[in-house]
Amino acid sequence: MKRTYLEFEKPIESLETKINSLQTAHNDHPSLDITRELRQLEEKLESLQHDIYDNLTAWEVSQVSRHPQRPYTLDYINSIFTDFNELHGDRMFSDDPAIIGGLAKFDGESVVVIGHQKGRDVKERQYRNFGMPRPEGYRKALRLFKLAEKFSLPIITLIDTPGAYPGIGAEERGQSEAIARNLYVMADLKTPIIGIVIGEGGSGGALALGVVDHLMMLQFATYSVISPEGCASILWKKPEMASTAAETLGITALRLKKLGLTDQIIPEPLGGAHRDIEKTMNNIKVPLKKELNRLRKEPIALILKNRYERLMSFGQFKDAEK
């Protein structure tokens, strides 16, 4: 697949084009010694990538979190889990392809895994509704939550959505109630829950899978009450203020970790998760295994107590001066 470059990655694209041209010339003329020149360009490339990715703005991070070649839920399921059996439908209205869930095994142990799924090409994006679930998607997730609780299976959620779908049909079928019901049930679900924000964590559409005992975020993922564009349209009536909104919202993993809203940041390969998908998967496996093992040893009563205290710790306030 041809690599897609973001706007701020244009210097990287230029340098990689030079490296590819040099390698092509060597393939055409094997006697040509390019070792020294190639090493210099590769060192320059690595330095450039560090200069750019070590200093990303919140707006640039949000673009990386939406990168079209970034791994999605199905990629993680196929790489990290085994014996995945997808379950469909909410037993009320229909199946929603924007949310994928089912039974699987992680490190030889049975789990329930649920996540948002975007599409790669136009046809699949339409089928998955661009990863924006409707009420039946959240009710499908709810059915799987209760199934996990019934059989004492840990739940792993993979969060990656611009937000819940705001269409008329979704509203008619109770979009807000479906999200609220998930929040209510997850808060008291008697089984361990681990959440991983793998891309965009947008609004209540993400939060409906986000009431967890331990929340991880990939380094260049985002998590926010609203998208930067949506915030800019509401506050300034100007979508072009999205970059300012992104900084103000504090959507990055680093900022959210400082605020105590996420528990762990998982490092990504240089240039983002899509640059080395295998390494990204390995970076997730280790902390996921560690947290699952920890939670499995804790009594359910303690898990519920800690979950409640975690939720109650969110937010800060101060008394107004009289």
Q: Where are the beta strands (DSSP E) in the chain?
A: 82-86, 99-106, 109-116, 155-161, 193-202, 214-218, 222-224, 264-266
User: Nearest to residue 45, comparing CAs of 69, 91, 4, 9?
Assistant: 9
User: Nearest to residue 206, comparing CAs of 222, 220, 230?
Assistant: 222
Report residue 31 CA to chain centroid gap: 46
d(C-alpha 285, C-alpha 81), whole Å: 10
Q: Are strands 82-86 and 99-106 parallel, antiparallel or unpaired?
A: antiparallel
d(C-alpha 222, C-alpha 65), whole Å: 6
pLDDT of residue 276: 95
d(C-alpha 28, C-alpha 107), whole Å: 46
Name residue 161's beta-bridge partners: 201
Other beta carbons within 10 Å of 56: 18
Per-residue pLDDT reduced to its tens digit, 77-124: 999 999 999 999 999 999 999 999 999 999 999 999 999 999 999 999
With a cut of 50, which residues of the chain have pLDDT below it? none
pTM for the model stands at 0.93
Task: Please give the domain boundaries of the chain with CATH numbers for all domains.
Answer: 10-55 (no CATH), 62-312 (3.90.226.10)
CA quadruple 49, 50, 53, 55: dihedral positive or negative? Answer: negative
pLDDT of residue 145: 98
Q: Could you give the 3-state DSSP secondary structure of residue 132?
A: coil
pLDDT of residue 322: 63
CB-side neighbour CA atoms (13 Å) of 19: 16
Q: Could you give the 3-state DSSP secondary structure of residue 48?
A: helix
Q: Are strands 99-106 and 109-116 parallel, antiparallel or unpaired?
A: antiparallel
Answer yes or no: are the C-beta atoms of 69 and 274 closer than 8 Å.
Answer: yes
Answer yes or no: are the C-beta atoms of 145 and 100 closer than 8 Å.
Answer: no
